[in-house]
Structure 1
């Protein structure tokens, strides 16, 4: 498929999705959201893909927010639909993905860009990255799940401070508060992300998918996370991966999942 505003490449079981609007600091306009949705669906359906990396083109930005120029003519109904679309992409296609999704935050991650990164299962950032949710300075609030995910990741007080002041923080500050997994020199960022995914790929993909779902259930009020864990734990006993994993452990060899 041809994408207008992103690059899509599969290499060694990883789908690399690069938001490609460097001249606009990779801002998420509606076409980019459409491209992102299509790329994620493609990655989920591709049996060769075991993990997904999302990053931004160029050296300045991961994604520096939504494209504010498109907001000017939106009606209240249009804005509602746009927010719903963002929630669908970030929640159903990223957060609930059975395949691990990692954000390689290579620069500014602001507004919708930080919301995109927070939807991913892990966030690795360049030491030059800046993070923030500046929406209240526009008379808005984060509309793609940012109020909820930031609160879960860093706690109510820190989330409110970031959202209400609209101030940016450094990648190091993000790491200290639990928003970022690791901070790395820019030149080593992607290598580290690939290294982590390779480690995950050496494990059971069935167990990985179940673990992602169980962790997600922790924040889902419609599900009992403990019961989800019990169900996944017991169901995995029926899988070939479990049989291979135990056989490999007892045979003192590496499993072949």
Structure 2
């Protein structure tokens, strides 16, 4: 079935796919259907050998302006528990291939949390990022208090979560929340360029390296180093490792096959 709220663009660059959130009238508010469509699209692309990196974007006005409040306003605690909307987020988190967010305009609440699920972030000069749930009498529930704090530190995270303060793109860059800021007309192009550079690497190494970096947020240093070492050794069982090192010795560009 054709998705209603996302658009999938295949091969926008070699081995790069692009998913665009597509609820423009609602500023890409994340309702249950959109999130379900995104989850299924990522599962398909994660299994596609012709895709090594995924770009996720909204439009120039909004990456995603938050969750769909209309879907939640009349819910009880038990309703929210039974819907279990965050199980979809857990599935998205398990995507093995790198995801690069292309962010312009608003990335608020759930939109900011979805952005932070991605592995790298390219933002336009007009990007406004934050967790303003406190203004609705609630708090972040899809990782905002945890991922934001790990990215920008306690002091700034507290201010953003407790007052609803939004960051400009430049402030987010200085805080270490995003990778780079570019002119608005170039934000998607630059994200695809970063994705293409990433996709030129060994897809096996990309997956294991991403896994190791994410492990740093969940383990002690000693456990993380042990995990890193195992993934490092594992790559010496791959054809890509042999090709990469042989190409280096022969002073040529490697041709990685993901094996």
User: If the TM-score is normalised by the length of the shorter chain, which range does it land in?
Assistant: over 0.9
- The unaligned stretches of length 5 or more in structure 1 are none
Structure 1 partner of 2:17:
15
Summarize the Cα distance change of 1:229–1:13 in structure 2 as closer, same or farther, 3 Å threshold: same
Structure 2 partner of 1:38:
40
**CA-to-partner distance for each residue in 1:61-114, whole Å, 9 max, x for gaps?**
1100011111122121232355x533x4434424x4221101100110000000
Q: Distance in 2 between matches of 1:103 and 1:81?
A: 30
Task: Say whether the 8 Å CA contact 1:204–1:241 is kept in structure 2.
Answer: yes
TM-score after normalising by structure 2: 0.93
Secondary structure at 2:7 match in 1: strand
* Map 1:51-200 → 2, pairs under 5 A: 51-57=53-59, 59-82=60-83, 84-86=84-86, 88-94=87-93, 96-200=94-198
Q: Distance in 2 between matches of 1:36 and 1:22?
A: 16
Q: Distance in 2 between matches of 1:92 and 1:38?
A: 9
Cα shift at 1:220: 1.4
Q: Distance in 1 between matches of 2:248 and 2:15?
A: 25
- The unaligned stretches of length 5 or more in structure 2 are none
TM-score after normalising by structure 1: 0.93
Structure 2 partner of 1:235:
234
Q: Distance in 2 between matches of 1:200 and 1:75?
A: 44
Structure 1 segments of 4+ aligned residues over 6 angstroms from their partners? none
Segment drifting more, 156-165 vs 41-50: 41-50
Structure 2 partner of 1:28:
30
Q: Distance in 2 between matches of 1:191 and 1:17?
A: 14
Structure 2 partner of 1:248:
247
Task: Say whether the 8 Å CA contact 2:9–2:17 is kept in structure 1.
Answer: yes
Q: 2:209 aligns with which of 208, 211, 217?
A: 211
Paired positions, count: 253
Secondary structure at 1:194 match in 2: helix
Secondary structure at 1:237 match in 2: helix
Task: Say whether the 8 Å CA contact 1:56–1:63 is kept in structure 2.
Answer: yes
Structure 1 partner of 2:2:
2
Secondary structure at 2:194 match in 1: helix
Secondary structure at 1:207 match in 2: helix
